[in-house]
Amino acid sequence: MRIFTLYYPVWILVAAAIFAVGYAVATGTNKKVFLTSGIAAAVATLLLGVFCVYFLPTDEKAVRKTINETKNAVVAGDVDETLEHIADDATKTRALARMYVGRVKFRNAKITNFKVLEVNRLASPPRARVSFRAGASGTYDSEFGAASFATLVDFNVVEMRLGPDKEWRLTDNLDFSEASGF
């Protein structure tokens, strides 16, 4: 299953070629009919494949969307919006969000190296595991006044759970470390 998601452009081309040859053979052996019907079938298959890849919703896209929305809420300093993306029973993660979101003023935040490691729809409730690198800079109020910071964190594994409202939420299972080389 994973090979399809990693190389889907190749699989779309393979499917288009197989479909084109099969369709052309089925419609006749006349060279003009064979060529035009084969090309038309290949183009139609490619367009269908592109539509499926870019426009059909997937769990991977929904998980990525949740991570980006959470980042945007944290950067905006919106505690309530941030908490909406965290599971109700994730008490440690919710406490961290309440403690830091709003008190830290971000100038810049970025997520890179995003990978969906696993989506398990058979678990109850469904779970996903992702990894990514987060970088941020900004200021925070300390006992000595405003202090600047810049940090880079590797989230080795972040577990998410699908809520009853069909939205992915962060859980307390966060494995992270300060990134090396920064």
Q: Where are the domains of the chain?
A: 2-55, 59-178
Residue 5 — pLDDT band, cuts 50, 70, 90?
low
Question: CATH fold of 59-178, please?
Answer: Nuclear Transport Factor 2; Chain: A, (3.10.450)
**Contact between residue 132 and residue 116 where contact means Cβ atoms under 8 Å apart:** no
- 64 pLDDT band, cuts 50/70/90, is very high
Question: What token pair was written down for 30?
Answer: 């006349």
Cβ atoms of residues 115 and 131 within 8 Å: yes
pLDDT at residue 1 in the model? 44
- Inter-residue contact 105 to 76 (CB < 8 Å): no
87 versus 18: which is more confidently predicted? Answer: 87
What is the average per-residue pLDDT within 148-152? 84
**Three-class secondary structure of residue 155 per DSSP:** strand
Confidence of residue 181 (pLDDT cuts 50, 70, 90): very low
pTM of the predicted structure, to 2 decimals: 0.72
Does residue 91 carry a pLDDT above 50?
yes
Is the predicted pLDDT of residue 126 greater than 70, yes or no? yes
The answer to whether 46 and 16 have CB atoms below 8 angstroms apart is yes
Mean confidence (pLDDT) of the chain: 82
Adjacency order of strands within the sheet including 168-178:
104-120, 127-142, 145-162, 168-178
- Mean pLDDT of the region 162-180: 85
30 pLDDT band, cuts 50/70/90, is low
Provide the pLDDT for residue 6.
52
Task: Lowest mean pLDDT of 4-13, 18-27, 138-147, 151-160, name the range.
Answer: 4-13
